Structure 1
Amino acid sequence: MTSGVLTFLGAAGTVTGSKFLYEEEGQRYLADCGLFQGEAAWRRRNWDDFPVDPASLRAVVLTHAHLDHCGYLPALVRQGFQGPVICSESTATVASIVLRDAAHLQEEDAEHARAGGYSRHNPPLPLFDTADAERAIALFQPVGDRAIELPGGTTVRLHRAGHILGSTFAVLERNGHRLLVSGDLGRQQHPLLRPPVTPPAVDAIVVESTYGNRKHAPLDRERLGRLITATAHRGGVTLIPAFAVDRTAIVLHTLAGLAHDGLIPHLPVFVDSPMALAALNAYRTAIQEKAPELRPDLVGTDDPFDPGDLRLVHSAEESQRLNSPGRPCIIVSASGMATGGRVLHHLTHQLPDRRNTVLLTGFQVPGTRGRSLLDGATSVKIHGRYVPVRAQVTDLPEFSAHADSDELVDWLAASPEPPQTVYVVHGEPDARQALADRIRKELGWLAVAPQHSERVRLW
């Protein structure tokens, strides 16, 4: 009998950095390859050498294209990984966008630090560069909805997860044993995507717990409309930091609905994120091609992302002009947790003005500027300088594309057989423990919350 071993190299004790090393019969595979984000103690781990020789990995399996699930891949390639990266077709498209943007931001942040003299390192260097990102992208091997054999004999099948375009959960199988890695699971009522498919019978499950201790309320469209309308009447700007992948599309789809129903005034809506624009094109292509993961009512519609005066900002010069727009408007810009990107310049200019409103539309990881704003900070540090926070800051967690605690438990309960063990990951400590407790009490399954770098026998 063989005994598979799983090592939790990320997303254990924190929400980010998903990396799960599966080893059996001398073969090594990595499920997800994410960057740590948020608190400095976790971000510093991005610079650690990978704990095993990256060249010894037979393959990487990506569940989806968010940075905390795919963003470490260029660094892994820089350290010697050369195997295939297995993912869905849409993940290959979107992850290419994400990795190129991440490399650009790495290089840009290093240059900002050098010019501003606020780095501890001399000279400041990026974790990876554009060349590393391109080498990683060249390794993508998109697969459809079928089981494929990986180098070394393990098979993998990707199933729809309904979180973002292309998102999947992965089932790896060897010698009759099966390991399921959930990635991030979507909601039953995602406005653009169909919900996750039912999990198959497996021996072990690695499940996310981002909202493991919370339930989502339905989006209060009237409240959102009032917030935007009141800001416009003050002569202010509504600034929406939004994840470029998926969240920007959801925000625009929602704004289009509000405009159609007369719940907000006619306002120009600027999308200022090169990555968001590229991801939006990916969504439009998926709609044109009638991708099966999309909700049926979305396929065949006119542009579902245009609120009536949609303006796509491409150049840096156009972006800079938006720092002083001179009229009420809505600006949607990345990143969603204000960790980088063009939104930082907009925050620098819009936060000090009491007329403006900042709407937070997603989970804010501890240690990010977005979390500081959510927690009521009176100032935030951007590019080495403190910026006063006088604008109204409002949280809209209803926009989350993560399954909540009820949806996670219901999804697990739909499995045809109980697994031997459920490993609860990708959540803050309270959320992970709360979900593990619910799984034990309500399903009667063994559920644990592993620690960072912990190794476990799977079977």
Structure 2
Amino acid sequence: MNAAKGTARETAMPAADEFSIRFLGAAGTVTGSRYLVEAADTRLLVDCGLFQGGRELRERNWEEIPHAAETVDAVLLTHAHIDHSGYLPRLVKNGWAGRIVSTTGTADLCQLLLPDSGFLQEKDADFSNHRGFSRHKPALPLYTQDDAKAALEYFAPVDFETEQELADSTRFKFRRAGHILGASFIELTTGSRKVTFSGDLGRYDDPVMKDPEVPLETDYLVLESTYGNRLHERVDAMEALGEAIEKCIERRGTVVIPAFAVGRAQTLLFHLSRLRKAGRLRGVPVYLDSPMAISASKIFCRHLGDHRLTPEQCEETCDVPQYVRDVETSKQISRSHEPKIIISASGMATGGRVVHHIKQFAPDPRNLILFAGFQAAGTRGARMVEGARSLKIHGEQIPLNAEVANLPMLSGHADADEIMRWISAIKKPPRMTFITHGEPTASEALRQRIEKELGWKCKIPVQGERAILA
């Protein structure tokens, strides 16, 4: 350790037996997951995500984490989604050099997601400068594709269920959370105290991902609440998807499905493969217009032990779409008037190629914009699901005459009942349950339910709050 780093550590580290969590993200919002854990012998981040949504949230990404470059030893990553991993390149850009510890599946997916995030930020900055959208002159990316590639050098993947040591008295273990490939919840122990970070919990009986594993006793629980006030419809997801698509195709429309390249795209393709195998959707072309989703699907099929699909099912799933890799082909399918299905990122329509498809197909009432899960407040997807009749895209107001629908049962997130099922496996009440990673109404509903049904002590932390764990 160099002298500068030692000086910063001396001023930032807690007292000898102090153990705390500072909530630097996912507090009062469903994005920007970042928890700073400070113990006597280590300082680490659990997750290092980007804030997404409205301008106020996005601007938080420019606020640096205090003393991070000098004093944070490691980042423990629950999974690869950008709201949990996307700040890592900025952290490295600011001089941090430590270990990023994740499962192998998460590390493989971050090889795709992080450079793509840097690329999109560069493109967005260039586009803003070209069109004059930004208040900043010039608009700059938060980080570049090269910054993201540099961050990948610090990944140190480990296996599920294998206890790892961070410092003399601090150790942790990744356990399966479902949700997406490689996703985990983290059991972290410092001395005699244990804290469990749920990450994003997956669904029970999901046709693609395995069930979340049973959590063990813990002193403190940091619990996500994305669907804390909602229940998924108990309907067949394949049938709901098939009916929505067939209705649109019958009126000679195009179905545009904004979908996260990692997780939702693979689940959608699996359901489409079953529909096609059942003799439905014949003659309707399916386009996967996302180079990252194409690569993610290949990674998915390499990690057969991390999900339920057999090698044959993986092959059938990957054979469903026509893959669109280049921009010119993407433009051609957008100009085409033939009935078709386009799956493209991002899942909340905040950026990427899907925004161009929405711009093209939103004005025509024959078409369908079909969402496949949670839409965070302030995102373009949320506004559409809430009934907006026009959209601002690339500085233009675009009329929204197309049908808009959401199939939340396709979400990879546990609903309120499934969250309760998961935490009910913890037989001894934690000393405190911190409810995070949800919109305020969702977090509050889950807090009330846990307190009423289980009698546990709960708290909803605010942004920047520091909790001392006795």
Given candidates 344, 360, 374, the residue that maps to 1:349 is: 360
Given candidates 227, 252, 256, the residue that maps to 1:211 is: 227
* 2:444 maps to amino acid: Q
Given candidates 210, 218, 241, the residue that maps to 1:194 is: 210
Whether 1:379 and 2:390 are equivalent positions in the alignment is yes
Whether 1:183 and 2:199 are equivalent positions in the alignment is yes
Whether 1:6 and 2:6 are equivalent positions in the alignment is no
Sort the Cα spacing of 1:162 and 1:4 in 2 relative to 1 into closer, same or farther, 3 A: same
- Conserved 8 A contact 2:362-2:400: yes
Corresponding residue number in structure 1 for 2:448: 437
Q: Deviations over 1:155-196 (max 9, x none)?
A: 111000001000001111111211111110001122211111
- Conserved 8 A contact 1:192-1:298: no
- Conserved 8 A contact 1:94-1:282: yes
Shift of 1:86: 0.5
Give the 3-state SS of the residue equivalent to 1:143 in structure 2.
coil
Corresponding residue number in structure 1 for 2:349: 338
Corresponding residue number in structure 2 for 1:128: 143
- Conserved 8 A contact 1:32-1:60: yes
* 2:51 maps to amino acid: F
- Conserved 8 A contact 1:432-1:449: yes
Structure 2 residue ranges without an equivalent (≥5): 1-15
| Cα distance in structure 2, aligned partners of 1:26 and 1:167 | 27
Shift of 1:108: 0.3
* 1:97 maps to amino acid: L
| Cα distance in structure 2, aligned partners of 1:206 and 1:260 | 42
* 1:298 maps to amino acid: T
Sort the Cα spacing of 1:135 and 1:151 in 2 relative to 1 into closer, same or farther, 3 A: farther
* 1:203 maps to amino acid: D
Shift of 1:362: 1.6
* 2:440 maps to amino acid: P
Indicate the larger mover: 49-58 or 87-96: 49-58
Corresponding residue number in structure 2 for 1:65: 80
Q: Deviations over 1:241-262 (max 9, x none)?
A: 0011010000111111122223
Give the 3-state SS of the residue equivalent to 1:54 in structure 2.
helix
| Cα distance in structure 2, aligned partners of 1:112 and 1:401 | 32
| Cα distance in structure 1, aligned partners of 2:371 and 2:199 | 23
Sort the Cα spacing of 1:11 and 1:369 in 2 relative to 1 into closer, same or farther, 3 A: same
- Conserved 8 A contact 1:241-1:334: yes
> Which one has a larger percent helix, Structure 1 or Structure 2?
2
Indicate the larger mover: 299-308 or 401-410: 299-308
* 1:402 maps to amino acid: H
* 1:163 maps to amino acid: H
Whether 1:144 and 2:155 are equivalent positions in the alignment is no
| Cα distance in structure 2, aligned partners of 1:358 and 1:219 | 20
Given candidates 303, 319, 327, the residue that maps to 1:286 is: 303
> Aligned runs of 1:354-433 on 2, under 5 Å?
354-433=365-444
Corresponding residue number in structure 2 for 1:447: 458
Whether 1:158 and 2:170 are equivalent positions in the alignment is no
| Cα distance in structure 2, aligned partners of 1:181 and 1:306 | 33
* 1:197 maps to amino acid: E
The normalised TM-score by structure 1 is 0.96
Give the 3-state SS of the residue equivalent to 1:427 in structure 2.
coil
Shift of 1:229: 1.6
| Cα distance in structure 1, aligned partners of 2:98 and 2:111 | 17
| Cα distance in structure 1, aligned partners of 2:446 and 2:249 | 41
| Cα distance in structure 2, aligned partners of 1:223 and 1:131 | 41
Give the 3-state SS of the residue equivalent to 1:189 in structure 2.
coil
| Cα distance in structure 2, aligned partners of 1:300 and 1:273 | 23
* 1:74 maps to amino acid: P
Shift of 1:307: 6.8
Q: Deviations over 1:295-322 (max 9, x none)?
A: 2x535545241575x2000111111111
Corresponding residue number in structure 1 for 2:340: 329
- Conserved 8 A contact 1:421-1:446: yes
* 1:7 maps to amino acid: R
Indicate the larger mover: 51-60 or 166-175: 51-60
Sort the Cα spacing of 1:152 and 1:134 in 2 relative to 1 into closer, same or farther, 3 A: farther
Shift of 1:205: 0.7
| Cα distance in structure 2, aligned partners of 1:207 and 1:305 | 33
Q: Deviations over 1:89-132 (max 9, x none)?
A: 00000012110110000000000001101111111100001121
Whether 1:54 and 2:69 are equivalent positions in the alignment is yes
Indicate the larger mover: 47-56 or 63-72: 47-56
| Cα distance in structure 2, aligned partners of 1:194 and 1:226 | 26
Shift of 1:223: 3.9
- Conserved 8 A contact 2:41-2:167: no
> Aligned runs of 1:24-35 on 2, under 5 Å?
24-25=39-40, 27-35=42-50
Given candidates 233, 245, 252, the residue that maps to 2:269 is: 252
Given candidates 180, 184, 188, the residue that maps to 1:172 is: 188
Structure 1 residue ranges without an equivalent (≥5): none
Corresponding residue number in structure 2 for 1:303: 315
Corresponding residue number in structure 1 for 2:13: none
| Cα distance in structure 1, aligned partners of 2:303 and 2:255 | 29
- Conserved 8 A contact 1:64-1:168: yes
| Cα distance in structure 2, aligned partners of 1:203 and 1:323 | 53
RMSD of aligned C-alpha atoms?
1.5
- Conserved 8 A contact 1:338-1:369: yes
Sort the Cα spacing of 1:268 and 1:28 in 2 relative to 1 into closer, same or farther, 3 A: same
- Conserved 8 A contact 1:255-1:307: no
- Conserved 8 A contact 1:226-1:264: no
Count of residues in correspondence between the two structures: 453
Sort the Cα spacing of 1:22 and 1:302 in 2 relative to 1 into closer, same or farther, 3 A: closer
- Conserved 8 A contact 2:240-2:407: no
| Cα distance in structure 1, aligned partners of 2:314 and 2:62 | 45
Shift of 1:224: 2.9
Corresponding residue number in structure 1 for 2:9: none
Corresponding residue number in structure 1 for 2:3: none
Give the 3-state SS of the residue equivalent to 1:6 in structure 2.
strand
| Cα distance in structure 2, aligned partners of 1:214 and 1:343 | 27
- Conserved 8 A contact 2:187-2:197: yes
Identity of aligned residues (%): 43
Whether 1:39 and 2:54 are equivalent positions in the alignment is yes
Shift of 1:27: 2.4
